Amino acid sequence: MDEIYLNWDRMFDEAYRIPIHEIKNDNIVFSGIGGSGIIGEIANILGVELSFKRKFTGKESLVAVSYSGTTSETIVDVENAVKAGSEVIIITSGGILEKFAKEKSLKLINVPSGFQTRYAFPYLFTPLIKMTTKKRGIKINETELKEGVVEAKEKIKTDAARLAELLINRIPVIYSSKYLAIAKRFKQEINENAKHPAFYGEIPEINHNEIESYVHGPSLVSVIVESSEIDKITEDVLNSIVIKPYFSNDLKNISSLLALAGVTSLEMAKKINEKPDKLYNIPKARQLTSKLFRIN
């Protein structure tokens, strides 16, 4: 099943061809949660300056991402933005948000359906960065996302097997500075695919508090996604497992490191005989959230 991540090169190819929209306003607000939400944080690695402050005045553009189209928190943001008169662009594979976009004549980007959200990263991320980098005047080569997976594929397989062996039956805490969003996604993949505890933290903040927890935290294992010189301080103090980026290019590193996170989490799932696609608690949490926000 790890092929789903190693086949991201094909999915990126398809994602390049998805039509996008122009973003009107300089203030770009992002809405999303979970596997759909992390793409906004990852996009900010490229300097697109997405805001996550969801207060709408009508002078901003909201880019709302929900792969399923049924995420209650994102639906509420879209409704509030429409009421305020804000421009709204929705990226989704269907659901309530697709229907709402068509009813309200909102800008809609349809992506292929049928995947778990975490597997569909190329379809969600590529349209987002094409729109936002164009608005910011940032020149990128989107094909580097595909190249990152292709060129690192064999290393990803080897490194994922090694990491799974080191992390299983311990509590990994993944840290980074510049690549904090990638560390966060690493944590999320382990949680969702392996149903295994994992956490994340930001360098240098954790160097002033959290590193003390390792004195009485024998089950913890620190993992550093190395992205700047300051990460090495935490590495030295905690004798961390280090994940070194495969490239000097941010786009290639984003795709290859996220693929590594996915394959690692699947390798961990294999070791504990867990089914990555099976969800125990998330459906109930989503159902209760829908009731809270009165989303039908």
> How many CB atoms are closer than 10 A to CB 188?
20
**pLDDT on residue 3:** 84
d(C-alpha 61, C-alpha 28), whole Å: 5
**pLDDT on residue 296:** 65
Q: pLDDT tens per residue, the chain (296 residues)?
A: 668 999 999 999 999 999 999 999 999 999 999 999 999 999 999 999 999 998 899 999 999 999 999 999 999 999 999 999 999 999 999 999 999 999 999 999 999 999 999 999 999 999 999 999 999 999 999 999 999 999 999 999 999 999 999 999 999 999 999 999 999 999 999 999 999 999 999 999 999 999 999 999 999 999 999 999 999 999 999 999 999 999 999 999 999 999 999 999 999 999 999 999 999 999 999 899 988 988 76
CA nearest neighbour of 266 among 216, 204, 154, 191: 191
In the structure encoding, which two tokens stand for residue 117, read together? 């959200």
d(C-alpha 129, C-alpha 16), whole Å: 11
Q: What is the DSSP string of 186-206?
A: HHHHHHHHH----EEEETTGG
**pLDDT on residue 2:** 60
- Positions annotated as catalytic residues are 192, 208, 286
The structure tokens 């003390």 sit at 212
**pLDDT on residue 34:** 95
